[in-house]
Amino acid sequence: MNIRKKVRWTLPPNTNRYAALDLWVPAAEDEGWSEAEVQHVIDEVVEADNDAAGLEVLAWYTAS
């Protein structure tokens, strides 16, 4: 899936990827992301090798 959307939200400092997902998912849903799009990002974050890589995935889908 090629998602080009970005979510407007703020990642709190010292947050691991799972806590970040708990905040990112509602923000994406509020901005009208489909369930499939959200699930795709969740899968990428969970399958990342570590927290840093998972947070990089979320950074990609975050509006700057």
More confident residue, 48 or 1: 48
Structural domain harbouring 50: 17-60
Radius of gyration of the chain (CA): 11
Each residue's pLDDT tens digit, 9-47? 999 899 999 999 999 999 999 999 999 999 999 999 999
Phi then psi dihedrals of residue 26, to 5 deg: -60, -35
Query: Is 34 a member of any domain?
Result: yes
**For the chain, how many structural domains are there in total?**
1
Query: Is 55 a member of any domain?
Result: yes
Query: Is 10 a member of any domain?
Result: no
Reduced to 3 states (helix: H, G, I; strand: E, B; else coil), residue 29 is: helix
From CA 28, how far away is CA 52, in angstroms rounded?
Answer: 20
The number of CA neighbours under 13 Å toward the Cβ of 54 is: 19
Is the pLDDT at 1 greater than 90? The verdict is no
